[in-house]
Amino acid sequence: MRRARILALAVVLLTGGAPRAGHAADEIIAASGAGDAAHPSRTSGSGMPPSQPSLVAAVLPSTRSVEVGTTATAFVTIINAGAGTALNVGIGLPPAIPASLAFRTTDCATNAVTGGPSVPADIPAGGTECYVIGVVPTAPFAPQEISFTFAGTNTAPVSVLPGINTLFLSGNSTPTADVVALAATVGGNGILDIPGATGTGAFSVAVSNVGITAAVTVLADTGTTALPLTFAICETDVLGDCKGLARPFVTVNLPGLLDTGVAGTATYAVFVTGTGTVALDPATNRVFIRFVDVANVARGATSVAVQTQ
């Protein structure tokens, strides 16, 4: 068996399926590329001059799949990476989505709610504000990437980066699997470092199915950006050891919270091997792990940035 060499990430859920996961500012900036001053066009910032407030954002988890009328919860972190206070920073939903949205500010360390329903917040220069959002589908719609509007009254909206500050959401006429997935890298910064152009790096993923029981297949890909990488995945035990051989994909049956009363959990190690050089560009160079059902519909996903060193 191949050893993961990293302890499995624990998934702890709030009622309703949201992960109780604090958002560290350095991880958000790394994942969005906001700290890359040499490449401002590749960041998730607003693109405004450094002398003005400039926002970056991240959403966790990145995928939810709920029944119509059921609230899909997620956490949002917004950072003012510019200068000057960003005023009245709130979150909006695209008008074409048949759903309602509410948000509240939270304590970034505990996720305890601190603000009133959909009350925006001022974010000082270099400051961070955390939110919990609830999206309630009002009619069925197919899984799609929801691009929220994150903005203040004196800022431009945050640029859209799929898998970083979006939510892949579906509104379903009947319950489905709803796999909440979180990833952890060795450095704890959301970046997978691969030693050399042909080396292998690894990261861990923890999941909890807060929907119904379903067979899901765990897959890895690089999204819309082709990267010289290959993947092997294994389910891991509490020590981070592979339970079997690492393979290109793994199919498992995950018990669901809605039909069993207990959310099925699992942890995985993802081994990524380079077949060429990958530059550090967290906005575009990423590894995605997806959990797809028998209809090949993604019911959960997460991602990390990747680079060869």
Q: Hey, is 147 helix, strand or coil? A: strand
Which whole number is the average pLDDT over 138-158? 95
Q: What is the DSSP letter of 19?
A: B
CA 236 to CA 77: how far, in whole Å?
Answer: 29
- Tell me the average pLDDT across 278-296: 94
pTM for this predicted structure: 0.83
Q: What pLDDT does residue 50 have?
A: 55
How do residues 29-67 score in pLDDT, each as one tens digit?
555 544 443 233 334 445 455 568 999 999 999 999 999
Q: What is the pLDDT of residue 48?
A: 52
Structure tokens at 285: 């160079």
Indicate the pLDDT class of residue 4, thresholds 50, 70 and 90.
very low
The burial class, CB within 10 Å (0-12 / 13-18 / 19+), for 226 is exposed
Confidence band for 163, pLDDT divided at 50, 70 and 90: confident
Nearest Cα residue to 32 out of 159, 127, 147: 159
What percent of the chain is predicted at pLDDT more than 90? 74
pLDDT band at 158 (very low <50, low <70, confident <90, very high): very high
In the predicted structure, residue 169 carries a pLDDT above the cut 90 = yes
Residues 215, 294: contact at Cβ < 8 Å?
yes
Maximum separation of any 2 CA atoms in the chain, in Å: 55
Q: Give residue 29's pLDDT.
A: 55
The residues pairing with 101 across neighbouring beta strands, listed in sequence order, are: 135
Which pLDDT does position 76 carry in this prediction?
Answer: 94
- For residue 6, name the pLDDT band (cuts at 50, 70, 90): very low
| Domains in the chain: ranges and CATH | 25-172 (2.60.40.10), 179-308 (2.60.40.2310)
CA angle at residue 90 from 89 to 91, to 5 degrees? 140
Which residue(s) pair with 14 in the sheet? none
The pLDDT mean for the chain works out to 85
pLDDT (tens digit per residue) in 80-129: 989 999 999 999 999 999 999 999 999 988 889 999 999 999 999 999 99
